[in-house]
Chain A
Amino acid sequence: MEDIKKYFETFLHWKQLKMTPQRAFILDEFLSSQKHISVEELHRKIAQKDSTIGHTTVYRTLRLLSDAGLAREEDFGDGIKRYEYESEHHDHLICVSCKKTVEIFDNQIESMQERLAEVNGYILTGHKMDLYGICAQCMDKAPSDADEDSYKKTVNSKFMKLSPLGLLKNGTKARVISFTPNMNLPKDVSDQRKERRIQEMGLRLGKTVEILNNGARGPILLKIDELRIAIGRTAAMDIMVEVED
């Protein structure tokens, strides 16, 4: 416990901040709480003992802990951020259908990540890895053709060169796979409209596009058959493509 506090103090010092009694208190409470605690939950717990500590302070301190690599920020798809102390590190396997989450750990992956950081000249302070898939129960529940397809897509995506359109370099050719980065989320009306508009302009699902001009800023110029289409960067980041060789 003491060396965690020591480490956090060093981190704060490096950020030109100080270890205030409030921060120390929040750290203690956080470390002694159960796994995956949300800001609200932690604040409620703290407020019972010290009502002077506000919600914002708790939130900010948790962010600092997260920056320091002491807390892991998680979002299991319900929009609520939960935090967890990184004592024993583990990653997550999340079912896209029922949101069930399993903790996983693999030494080989961990050491490969260390090496990747090292190669790029980084010292690793933390990481999070969430793998998405369909859990066994969900798979047993009478998979229809469409589910099978999306499952295959998810599985294959690791082997395909899947990328947002906006990240491709000039001259790259790629096939349009999806108009949203998350294929499993339902589309709302504005998404549908946008998708429709993009498709009408000629940027259709399954079409091969060539990147003609992708600068650091501004829109991206694409060529589809004989068409030249300029698309805004934000929209282009939402379009998922499979890079062709």
Chain B
Amino acid sequence: MNSMIKIAVAGNPNAGKSTLINALAGTRLQVGNWSGVTVEKKEAIFNYRDHIINLVDLPGVYSLSPFSQEEIISSDFLIREKPDVIIDVVDATNLERNLCLTIELMELETPMVIALNIFDEVEKKGYKINTDAISELLCTGVIPTVAKRNIGVDALLEAAISAAVNRSKPKRLIYNEDIENAVSMIETSIKSLPAQGQSDKALPRWIVYKLMEGDEKIRGDLEPIGVSVDIVSDALKHLTDVHKESVRDIIAAARYAQASGLTQEVLTRPEIRREELTGKIDKIVLNKYLGIPIFLFVMWLVFKLTFDISGPFTDWINGSVTEVLKKWALFLILSITGIEWLSLLVSDGIIAGVGFVLSFVPVIFAIMFFITFLEGSGYMARAAFVMDSVMHIIGLHGKSFIPIVLGFGCNVPAIYATRTLENRSDRLLTSLLIPFISCSARLPVYALFVGVFFSENSGSVLWSIYTLGIVLAIIVGLILKNTLFKGKSSFFIMELPSYRVPSWKNLFIHSWEKGKHFVVKAGTYLLAMSIVVWFLFNMPFDAQSKRDSYLGRFSSSFTFIFKPLGFGNWEAVSALITGVMAKEAVVSSMAEIYAPKVNQNKGENTLSVGEDIKKMTLSFFSAFNLSLSNLFSNIGIPSISSKDTEEVVNIKTAIRKTFTPLSAYAFMAFVLLYMPCIVAGIALKQENGTWGWFFFAVLYQFVIAWGIAFLIYQGGRLLNLES
């Protein structure tokens, strides 16, 4: 049995690293987090020939300097975990820039293989890269790959394994005489240390360079064997005297020089260069006048497609699957155990909860699919470019716009998407603003109320609610920027990758990863909450009506807070409390309260397995059909609720009795603003580290929601809008 080979995959962002990882490991990839931080960690363990491979994907970085979280993670892993071999993924179309990281990785003196990725585009451009020359000059394996089409992937893995088995180290490059002298001085003095327990092995160059740069962490690690500041500073004397620059700059410049020298040696460009497609597209997409309209159109298209495609499937899960399962669970548990509350807990608490989570799945996957498409195609970076000047108004960069737009789909992935921002305070500010963006979960609430009170001009009322959220996000952004986040705006630099057609396989794998993350994380909390709420809602069991349940009693004592807002009744308050879990729960709670189900199942005897499966399958196909036809149907907002069941009619009548149009509008505004749902709140906590910001968000949102609803209701009354 062979021992495990640990392979670390490193590379620049946009070098096609994750595509290559997918090609290497496919579905065997496990996605997690690096311990203690929110940077994604992908890992896979699999058998290849007679080896066990442990593949670890390092975050995309430009260098191993200790400036960003990603860089620290990468260098820590490479130094401490000592992988057997490094696969360095290089974007072959940007050889020079990518080779800088290669040069730095070589300093680690770990066996290494270079994947010259995106090699097809190099050939298409008519460039010639002399791979043998690179291999010879650097003493590493060099494999051209096209990860998207699985070309060269096996050869790469073979090369990595053989490098690991032979322990063949890359060449030690000599940067210049002065650096070399300083290095050898340090090495000699380390060797002469009495406590030099580490055998005769010299330290990897990278560590020595870090010592020279004055890296405190590395020096701390070497303190036990007696490395002191003096050893280093003595050696640096000559270097800094001559160059008059910081050692960090000297070494960085030396690396750049190596990379550009190497590039000149191995790369031949054709004399005549035609204008590339990317340049042509950019001229239109980044045009001064067209840029923003095009961006808005793209975003609109994404949302239209998302909801059109996923809508029917959501309905299918809600209707067919959940209903059927509930029916069966109720029947089975009741007939086996005879305990009514247990059967109700399972069917109405657990299965309804699971079904509720599942109903998110289509929309989350659809939106992740399109977002991945935009990212993979290269347009997302353009969107950030176009929106940068607009976002500057609230002290954020264009990059922040992407998470904020995602917020329209669901605030949770939106908050997770703030990871792409470099600066911590940008991340925080963006995630504090996201809850103002009306997510799709809030739509059912609006749909219900708009349907009852504003069916004449439903479009404009809906629009006004969404706009209210956006306007408040801008105002709050401005306020936060000038108070808590004063003067913290970082500078903006971003790479715009060439346009590429993303491969289907990658699109599916990435949207699956992102979607799965949501379902698991959010699903767990949602399920737990839905059971808790079920208990609150249904206990004590001898309650005559929902009003006497714990939740009802609890809500009744807080109605005074909501009196000035126009909905100071226990029904609304209970619904709002359940809405903390997820905003659309407001609707289902109202359904529970206003139209309590009489145990309708008892009378029915349609429990035929075949019938139910047939129904589920048939309705799946009709959902599929509808989703397809939505795709090609003419443009328009998908109808929110086409047919009202008897239940819905009951709720609507009840709502009409307790609300007026004005209080309904105030209620909608309140639902929009009152707090991020528990999942979004938890995402906020996870991404920003402390519960402090979670409570801050909950509190300030509640205050704003109350204030706005108050203004709407009382202002409306003053204007005599209460009818």
Contacts and interface: CB of A to CB of B under 8 A. Distances in A.
Nearest to B289: A215
Given A219-B398, A232-B388, A197 B493 contact: yes
A98 to B, nearest CB: 18
Interface string B225-258: 0000000000000000001101011001100100
Contacts of B256: 199, 204
A218 B389 contact: yes
B288 interface: yes
A196 B65 contact: yes
B241 to A, nearest CB: 9
A218 B385 contact: yes
B463 interface: no
B74 to A, nearest CB: 13
Nearest to A238: B491
Contacts of B252: 196, 199
Q: Which of B243, B398, B492 has most A Cβ within 10 Å?
A: B492
Interface in B270-288: 278-279, 282, 286, 288
Interface SS of chain A:
mixed
Interface stretch (B93-101, B569-577, B646-654): B93-101
B559 to A, nearest CB: 49
Contact of B93 (A199, A215, A226, A234): A226
Contact of B496 (A229, A232, A234): A229
Contacts of B397: 232
Contacts of B554: none
B282 A230 contact: no
A235 B493 contact: yes
A225 interface: yes
Most chain A CB atoms below 10 A, which of B65, B93, B491: B491
A91 to B, nearest CB: 31
A21 B398 CA distance: 52
A130 to B, nearest CB: 25
Contacts of B288: 215-216
B494 to A, nearest CB: 5
B297 interface: no
Contacts of A225: 94, 96-97
Nearest to B386: A218
B154 to A, nearest CB: 28
B494 A226 contact: no
Contacts of B496: 221, 228-230
B491 A201 contact: no
B94 A202 contact: yes
With a 10 A CB-CB cut-off, give which of A144, A192, A213 has the most chain B CB atoms: A213
A53 interface: no
B491 A228 contact: no
B530 to A, nearest CB: 44
A225 B253 CA distance: 18
B62 interface: yes
B177 interface: no
Contacts of A194: 491
A227 B97 contact: yes
A212 B281 CA distance: 12
B493 A213 contact: no
B244 A146 contact: yes
A232 B385 contact: no
B549 interface: no
A38 B203 CA distance: 58
A106 interface: no
B93, B279, B389 — which one has the most chain A CB atoms within 10 A of its CB? B389
B67 A193 contact: yes
Given A196-B65, A212-B279, A219-B388, A227 B94 contact: yes
A37 B500 CA distance: 63
Contact of A231 (B93, B100, B384, B492): B492
B391 to A, nearest CB: 9
Interface in A144-181: 144, 146
A194 B67 CA distance: 10
Contacts of A221: 282, 286, 385, 496
Interface residues of B, number: 39
Nearest to A195: B249
A228 B495 contact: yes
Interface in A188-245: 192-194, 196-205, 212-213, 215-219, 221, 225-232, 234-235
A70 to B, nearest CB: 35
B282 A232 contact: no
B63 interface: yes
Interface in B26-72: 62-63, 65, 67
B244 A219 contact: no
Given A192-B246, A200-B62, A213 B94 contact: no
Indicate the member of B93, B256, B493 with the most A CB atoms within 10 Å. Answer: B493
Contact of B493 (A217, A226, A229): A229
A127 B63 CA distance: 47
A234 B491 contact: yes
B67 A227 contact: no
A212 B282 contact: yes
B254 to A, nearest CB: 13
A190 to B, nearest CB: 9
Interface in B104-150: none
A175 to B, nearest CB: 14
A232 B97 CA distance: 20
A201 B94 CA distance: 11
Instruction: Select the residue from A196, A213, A221, A230 with max chain B CB neighbours within 10 A.
Output: A230
Nearest to B260: A204
A196 B248 contact: yes
Contacts of B497: 228
Interface in B378-399: 381, 384-386, 388-389, 392, 397-398
Contact of B97 (A196, A202, A234): A202
A198 B282 contact: no
B495 A213 contact: no
Given A196-B65, A199-B252, A225-B96, A230 B493 contact: yes
B407 to A, nearest CB: 22
A229 B493 CA distance: 7
Given A215-B288, A221-B286, A200 B492 contact: no
B491 A235 contact: yes
Nearest to B389: A218
B387 to A, nearest CB: 9
A201 B494 CA distance: 8
Contacts of B248: 192, 196
Contacts of B385: 218-219, 221, 230
B494 A230 contact: yes
B100 A200 contact: yes
B286 to A, nearest CB: 5
A234 B252 CA distance: 24
Contacts of A215: 288, 389
A213 B284 CA distance: 11
Contact of B278 (A196, A201, A228, A230): A228
A216 B388 CA distance: 12
Contacts of B65: 196, 200
Interface in A98-130: none
Interface in B563-583: none
A196 B493 contact: no
B289 to A, nearest CB: 10
Contacts of A200: 62-63, 65, 100
Contacts of B93: 226
Given A213-B286, A230-B496, A202 B96 contact: yes
Nearest to A231: B493
8 contacts: A194-B491, A196-B65, A200-B63, A202-B495, A219-B398, A221-B496, A226-B93, A232-B397
Interface of A: 144, 146, 192-194, 196-205, 212-213, 215-219, 221, 225-232, 234-235
List 7 A-B pairs, minimum CB-CB distance, nearest first: A232-B492, A218-B389, A200-B62, A202-B97, A228-B496, A217-B389, A235-B491
Given A225-B94, A232-B492, 20 more contacts: A144-B244, A196-B252, A197-B67, A198-B493, A201-B97, A203-B493, A204-B256, A205-B253, A212-B279, A212-B282, A221-B385, A228-B278, A230-B385, A230-B388, A230-B493, A230-B495, A231-B491, A231-B492, A232-B493, A235-B492
